[in-house]
Chain A
Amino acid sequence: MRSDERTVPSGEHPVRVEEDLLAARHAVRAAAVAAGFTIVDQTKIVTAASELVRNAYIHGGGGTMTVEAARNPAGRLGIRLRVRDEGPGIADVDQAMTDGFSTGAGLGHGLGGTRRLVDEFDLDTAPGRGTTVTVVRWKT
């Protein structure tokens, strides 16, 4: 692990009560600042985190968010977020990724929009198994 990775605060954060949504945003902001992200990159990764933790809270009945430093083969530093819930899972992934589709209180841009805010996006879900979304944004 390189020294700049050690300066990025990592950890697991609960997503159980509404106050946890703000705390999760703060944690991602702190990690993005420590990683040297620009204001625009900070805003994009924090917005992505906000969408994902709200999904976990509203649709997944709560879960956890993990923040950590990431390093690609070219040596570029980034932030990896993993948001996991133990909810009902997503039955139709294509539909969930489509802009304008929502079963909750949002605008239906949560997942599809989040994918555009990050460089890497992985969705692991199945009915009854919960949902885990892992995203990475590299420092520009």
Chain B
Amino acid sequence: MNTGVPILRLGDILLGGLLSDLDDKTALAFTDELTTRIANEGIRGVIIDISRLEIIDSFVARVLMQLAGIGRLLGTRMIVAGMRPAVALTLTELGLQLTGVRTALNAEQAMELLGWRRPAEEAPHAF
């Protein structure tokens, strides 16, 4: 199924980036594709990068909460990363807390939460 949402695989981690114009059909197709790939590919962790998403309404919030629940049932750690500050402010005013959804400031922090380590920065260059 082609949802138009790119899902990259890095080892046993999937990284999906939602686009700014997320319509309802795409959100549901993304859920289906991600769920299938978690089950079929032995995925340990999933990062959903929402840094391009300009709004989260109650429908998209529900989709993200469902995805987090599916991830838990399949034994996968799922992290939603990169929420824009304006989106976070709006969600709290709407009264939505994304219950059960683990979040990170950005995709890099989410990778670290999943155990992905950066190479030691203090390693000296050999000239």
Contact = CB atoms under 8 A, between A and B. Distances in A.
Do A and B come together as binding partners? Answer: yes
Which of A50, A113, A114: most chain B Cβ within 10 A? A113
Interface stretch (B35-43, B72-80, B91-99): B91-99
B90 A117 contact: yes
A58 to B, nearest CB: 9
Contact of A51 (B24, B58, B86): B58
Interface in B1-60: 21, 23-25, 54-59
Chain B, interface residues (CB within 8 Å), range: 20 to 34
Contacts of B62: 105-107
Interface in B90-124: 90, 93-96
Contact of B93 (A19, A29, A105, A117): A117
Interface in A1-32: 18-19, 21-22, 25, 29
Contacts of A42: 86
A106 B56 CA distance: 12
Given A18-B25, A22-B21, A44 B58 contact: no
Nearest to A118: B93
A109 B86 contact: no
A21 B89 CA distance: 22
B66 to A, nearest CB: 11
B62 to A, nearest CB: 5
Interface residues of A, number: 28
Contact of B86 (A18, A43, A106): A43
B92 to A, nearest CB: 10
B61 interface: yes
Interface of A: 18-19, 21-22, 25, 29, 39-40, 42-44, 46-47, 50-51, 54, 99, 105-110, 112-114, 116-117
Closest A-B pairs by Cβ, 7 of them:
A113-B94, A43-B86, A50-B57, A107-B58, A106-B58, A40-B86, A109-B58
28 contacts: A18-B25, A22-B21, A29-B54, A39-B86, A40-B85, A40-B90, A43-B89, A44-B89, A44-B93, A47-B55, A47-B57, A47-B90, A50-B55, A50-B57, A99-B95, A105-B62, A106-B58, A106-B59, A106-B62, A107-B59, A107-B62, A109-B58, A109-B61, A112-B95, A113-B93, A113-B96, A116-B94, A117-B90
